[in-house]
Amino acid sequence: MTLSALSWRRRALAALTVLAVTVSGLLLAAPAEAGNRVTPGNFTGYGFDQCNAPSQTAMDAWLTSSPYFAVGIYIAGKSRYCKEQPNLTPEWVSTQLRSGWRLLPITVGRQASCTTVDRYRTNRISADPTGGYKKAREQGKAEATVTVKAAQGLGISPKSTLWYDIEHFDIGIRRCRLSALAFLSSWTDRLHELDYVSGVYSSGSSGIAMLDAADRDFPDRWTMPDRLWIADWNGRDDVSSSYVRPTAWMPHARVHQYRGDHYEKHGGVSIQIDSNFLDVGRGSTVRRKPRTCGVQMDFPRYGFLRLGSEWPQVSALQCLLRQKRLYDAPITGTFDRVTQQAVRDYQRSRSLEVTGKVARNTWTSLLSEGTKPVLKYGSAGNPVRRVQRALNAALGSGLAVTGVFEAETTAALREYQGRRNLYRTGVVAGGTWAQLVAGRL
């Protein structure tokens, strides 16, 4: 290659590099942690938010002992009360995402022009109506730009939802209301340009009611946020609120802050939080069931099996033993001596009483074996199916084996944990997995 050709290639590569990181005139840093999953993704379940991002010790304790699986973090905005955020680093973000936490990144920047909060008075949205509230729109665009830069610096991936926190204000003041709508409309437009999803947090009676009315009455005038975070402390852990139409931002585009400032203690760690319920993305959904030898595996209860038993559950037993490479004969539905020997081999390998018969303890062990992720309300997937089946075996719970961890599964799990003298957390973590796999009743 000639020197001139080499120089040309270098210049071309440099130009492409600049182009790749330049978005609408903004030079954006590459994500600090490449490969982080989109957050919050598809989820229906509980979350909390705290002024400061909690320490890693606190996050680990709450992961395995609290009902929460999502956490709000304050990443940007001059009006943030907790600006320092000593724990909030790219490493903190990637660690929580790997552990299964969903993150809700929040910006508290310019507030409504009519705000009555003293500390917001120097950082307000312009109420100048010139040019259709052009100044407010410019401010909304600027806040979105700054927020994306902060998100990328923390490794929060494109397609993630970024939330703008606009605190309570008087929506009856026309210029205040219209400038806020112009600001939030521009916030959403800019986030879309930068490949992020737009969310807005506000009190139900002000910002949320304003957005809902604007969406209803002027659907083509403003760009609406993709998702709403409704502060309505009605104590109901769902996504309903009297301040927004039942069908608006539904399904799967709402977060409801249903309880305000309070302390909770989980895993020995106390944190001052607000409590939220999320239903976002596609909600907590599960893929199709994995192949199970073409036989029924899901039963509300699992009965006692012995030599000579003929029952659909025998086929399920033979399938489970085949998956564990202890049974390679045909699936017959008849408990024969080959099946009996495979059961004995399983019991011996798991330190169960070697009887060659399948009672509740052997069922519980067989059905729960596999990977052992942390599971709680909102989890979805095959490990949840295994827990639901195991609880049906251990307790006769009659759970529908859906693969989605909901209230009924939580209640059955707490009953099981109580029987085993475990903390009744409603979370399947190390100790609970160990008891299930050991076939403890």
Q: Are residues 118 and 205 in the same domain?
A: yes
Mean pLDDT taken over the chain: 93
At 204-257, the pLDDT tens digits run 999 999 999 999 999 999 999 999 999 999 999 999 999 999 999 999 999 999
Q: Are residues 89 and 213 in the same domain?
A: yes
Continuous segment of H or E residues that includes residue 390: helix 382-395
pLDDT level of residue 125 (50, 70, 90 thresholds): very high
For residue 247, give both structure tokens.
């069908």
Q: At residue 36, does pLDDT exceed 60?
A: yes
At 356-387, the pLDDT tens digits run 999 999 999 999 999 999 999 999 999 999 99
CATH number at residue 344: 1.10.101.10
Domain range spanning residue 377? 312-437
Continuous segment of H or E residues that includes residue 153: helix 130-153
Q: Are residues 350 and 260 in the same domain?
A: no
pLDDT score for 27: 39
Task: Give the C-alpha separation, 425 to 437, whole Å.
Answer: 18
Q: Are residues 232 and 349 in the same domain?
A: no
How far is CA 118 from its chain centroid?
35
pLDDT score for 437: 98
Question: Percent of the chain scored above 70 by pLDDT?
Answer: 92
Q: Are residues 90 and 211 in the same domain?
A: yes
Q: Are residues 216 and 71 in the same domain?
A: yes
The 3-state secondary structure of 147-206 reads: HHHHHHHCCCCCCCEEEEECCCCCCCCHHHHHHHHHHHHHHHHHHHHCCCEEEEEEEHHH
- Domain endpoint, select from 280, 300, 324: 280
| Residue 121 located in a structural domain | yes
Contacts of 15 (CB under 8 A, 6+ apart): none
| Residue 234 located in a structural domain | yes
| Residue 399 located in a structural domain | yes
Q: 249 or 28: which carries more pLDDT confidence?
A: 249
| Residue 26 located in a structural domain | no
| Residue 299 located in a structural domain | no
Q: Are residues 191 and 326 in the same domain?
A: no
At 178-206, the pLDDT tens digits run 999 999 999 999 999 999 999 999 999 99
**Count: domains in the chain:** 2
Q: Are residues 345 and 261 in the same domain?
A: no
| Residue 290 located in a structural domain | no
Q: Are residues 321 and 233 in the same domain?
A: no
- Domain endpoint, select from 231, 261, 280: 280
Q: What is the largest CA-CA distance in the chain?
A: 87
| Residue 21 located in a structural domain | no
| Residue 134 located in a structural domain | yes
Q: Are residues 380 and 422 in the same domain?
A: yes
pLDDT score for 34: 59
Task: Give the C-alpha separation, 363 to 365, whole Å.
Answer: 5
pLDDT level of residue 291 (50, 70, 90 thresholds): confident
Q: Are residues 243 and 317 in the same domain?
A: no
Q: Are residues 130 and 235 in the same domain?
A: yes
Distances (CA, A) of 27 to 30, 89, 365: 10, 21, 55
CATH number at residue 113: 3.20.20.80
